[in-house]
Amino acid sequence: MRQSCGLWPHDCLRFETSPLDSPVVQTCVTALHVILKWYVTAFPFTVSIMSEHVNQLPLSAPRYCDVPFAPYRFVPGRHPHPTAHPEGHSFLPPGESEPAVPFVPPARWWESTAYLEGVDCYNHGFWWEAHEAWEGLWHVVPNPSSQRSFLQGAIQVSALHLQAFLGKRNGIIRLHESSQRHFANVKVPDDGMFMGVNLDDWLKQVAAYTEALLSREPIAHVPDQYPYLKLSR
């Protein structure tokens, strides 16, 4: 994804009075100004934003679906908002909308593309995008339900990692506490698995990782300790 630098030629060029300030030179300068303004309008100056975001984190895990990742991992304040900005990676023109996410019960979690997409995004540091994928499913599951509580908790864990990337200690603490409250409402089967996740094991990993984040100054991710979501049928 690329972003216009917003410069017009008159912002970039400053002409000073000089011995060459003749009508002929001024005519040439005016013509050049017109040509440059047309060129910038037709072919906007662009700057890459890829070097500024979390793609540099070495997070990697097996994929669970074939939905392509977005061109960039959204970080607030650094990139075009994915859905609100015309240059966002998921922006839709007025009048268009995302297709409805079908309901899939937790016992058939592997049939939910939205769920698997969210897991893939989470495992590769696309935390805002994971939130969006899971939220689509969250909207269509029964309320209240264990599935809804599980998805809400997962969304908040994903947001926790984004807060960590931004170095926001209070956000990490708040989201970890609220995610725990949601997970406490999940009725986990006797085998300990919920939507393909060994929930108790994963929550212990999340808690340990949160503690590790908060112990660092400045706060920073520790990729080799990252609590990946590992799905199993």
pLDDT (0 to 100) of residue 30: 53
Asked whether the CA dihedral 143, 210, 213, 170 is positive or negative, the reply is: positive
pLDDT tens profile 165-192: 999 999 999 999 999 999 999 999 999 9
Q: Quick one: pLDDT band at residue 159, thresholds 50, 70, 90?
A: very high
The values of phi and psi at residue 107, to 5°, are -70, -15
- CA–CA gap between residue 112 and residue 124 (Å, rounded): 19
Domain ranges of the chain: 2-48, 52-225
Pure H helices in the chain: 9-12, 23-42, 113-123, 127-138, 146-165, 169-183, 199-215
- For 119-156, the pLDDT digits (tens) are 999 999 999 999 999 999 999 999 999 999 999 999 99
Confidence of residue 211 (pLDDT cuts 50, 70, 90): very high
- pLDDT higher than 50, residue 10: no
Structure tokens at 98: 């995302």
Fold classification of 52-225 (topology level): Hyaluronidase domain-like (1.10.3450)
| Over residues 37-62, mean pLDDT | 49
Pairwise pLDDT comparison (5 vs 111), residue with the higher score: 111
Helix 169-183, helix 199-215: angle, nearest 10: 170
Which pLDDT score, from 0 to 100, does residue 14 have?
A: 33
- pLDDT at residue 78, rounded to an integer: 85
